[in-house]
Amino acid sequence: MELHPYLDLSPAVAAALAAGKPVVALESTIISHGMPYPQNVETALAVEAIIRENGATPATIAVIGGRLKAGCTEAEIEYLGKRGTAITKASRRDLAMLVARGMDGATTVTTTMMIAHMAGIEIFATGGIGGVHRGAETTMDISADLEELAQTPVMVVCAGAKSILDLGLTLEYLETKGVPVLGYGTDELPAFYTRRSGFKVDYRVDSPAELAAVFRASRTLGLRGGMLVTNPIPEQYSMDPAVINAAIDEALAQCRARGIHGKETTPFLLAKVKELTGGDSLASNIQLVFNNARLASRTAACLTEG
């Protein structure tokens, strides 16, 4: 495969793709904007280790010095973690400027999907996707993640949409865009920190082999967009819905009072929810990412076997 001129594959990722072996993409915003240092770096390296343990090659994705990286070194992950929020949170609209100026960028779900697709990586594990923000009927605040899912053929394994969002409207938007929402072992959309939301997914799927079969069928049919797999947080790490919802409501009120909007909204809300829950939300966040990495690796293995 001829590489995109701005794209660099790590040796391990290049070798795995050339050999037809499973590769799982990982985003870098969770490193720079999702957690404090050094916990962010420790978590990123632990997720990579989990992917290797489950038979796949990890490809942490970022923009460094204007180069699109599919597979970061440990030193690059350390760099992203140390610089933290000083690094641009890079969505689709930012990529051309970052490349042209030789800048750094931490990839969101959107840009991780884009770069994974350029590299030929079909499975991506993350925490939760963005979606339709509460009050979007007046603010029009809708994550670019949903548009990317509609046009880029990558399977995204997550713990549902972040529960700071309007989950019902997020599902409606995905339906309009033709994006299938699959529940792994569940008929109900997980709500990130908790296993249940009250909203139904499109289909329940109960094995990595079936997930791979559905994605393979989508490719063969020539369907244009991606696929969303929602994987509930493990029971022992699921938070009390009353506790987490109260924290989210308070965080949203503070966000509105401070006039925070756009790409700063989600990092602010997640940090405030962490503060209000005494750190419990961060611990849950880490465990659900680990859980998604395991499922994505097993699904990628099944996909390459097919």
Annotated catalytic residue 162: yes
Contact, 159 vs 291, CB < 8 A?
Answer: yes
- Give 188-214 as a DSSP string: B--BTTBS--S-B-SEEE--HHHHHHH
CA–CA gap between residue 163 and residue 181 (Å, rounded): 16
∠ Cα 70 283 45 (to 5°): 30
* Closest C-alpha among 238, 88, 230 to residue 160: 230
CA–CA gap between residue 184 and residue 231 (Å, rounded): 5
Looking at 69, 76, 122, 162, which residue is catalytic?
A: 162
Contact, 4 vs 68, CB < 8 A?
Answer: yes
* Closest C-alpha among 29, 13, 31 to residue 21: 13
∠ Cα 47 182 95 (to 5°): 55
* Closest C-alpha among 284, 267, 256 to residue 87: 267
CA–CA gap between residue 67 and residue 81 (Å, rounded): 18
Q: Which residues contact 283 (CB under 8 A, 6 or more apart)?
A: 237
∠ Cα 28 64 20 (to 5°): 65
Annotated catalytic residue 272: no
Contact, 9 vs 112, CB < 8 A?
Answer: no
Residues labelled as active-site residues: 27, 162
